[in-house]
Amino acid sequence: MALPLLAGCINTFRTGPVPGTDAQQQLEIPLGETRLLDEERLAISFGRVMEDSRCPQGTQCVTAGNAMVGLILHERGEATRPVRLNTHDQPRTVSHEGYVITVVDVRPWPTSTGVAAEDAYVVRLHVVRG
C-alpha cells in the first residue's frame, strides 16, 4: 500500500535549476518589486533595506560592513514569510519550502557622499532547490 503513495512523492520532487533564475541560478529584484519563480511556485518580494553600513566606495575601512535586506517569501501564493538576510553578517541564507535563498549582493554600494536613494537598491539572490 505504501508504494503508490511513495511513487506519487517521487514524481512531484523537482530537481535542476529553478526556472526564473539565470545560468548561475541567480536573479535580481529591485526594491519594492516581486519576482515569480519556478512556474509561480515561489515568489520573492524585496520589501526594504533595513541596514546599509557597508564600507563606502573609494574609502578604506577596518570592516567591510553589512547590508541587511527584508524579503517576503511566498509559496504558491501562501505561506508568507518575512525574512532578514545579510551581505556580510549572518544569516545570509534561508531555507523555505524546498528552496534555499542566499544574498549574493546589494547594489548600489554607499559612496563617501552618503547612502544611495532607497529606490535605487537592487538585491541579487542565489536560489536553488534544497
Q: What is the pLDDT of residues 55-108, one digit of tens each?
A: 888 888 888 899 999 999 998 767 689 999 999 999 999 999 889 999 999 999
Domain that holds residue 65: 16-129
DSSP character at residue 87: S
Q: Within a domain: residue 2?
A: no
Q: Burial-class residue 18 by CB neighbours within 10 Å (0-12, 13-18, 19+).
A: buried
Higher-pLDDT residue of 12 and 129 is: 129
Confidence class of residue 14 from pLDDT cuts 50, 70 and 90? Answer: low
Q: Within a domain: residue 116?
A: yes
For residue 7, pLDDT over 70 is answered with no
Q: Within a domain: residue 9?
A: no
**Type and span of the H or E element at 72:** strand 67-75
- Specify the pLDDT at position 91: 97
Q: Within a domain: residue 21?
A: yes
Residue 66's closest CA among 119, 30, 110, 100?
A: 110
The structural domain count of the chain equals: 1
- Residue 100 contacts by C-beta under 8 Å, 6 or more apart in sequence? 93, 94, 127, 128, 129, 130
Q: Within a domain: residue 5?
A: no
Q: The domain spanning residue 109 has which CATH number?
A: 2.60.98
For residue 110, pLDDT over 70 is answered with yes
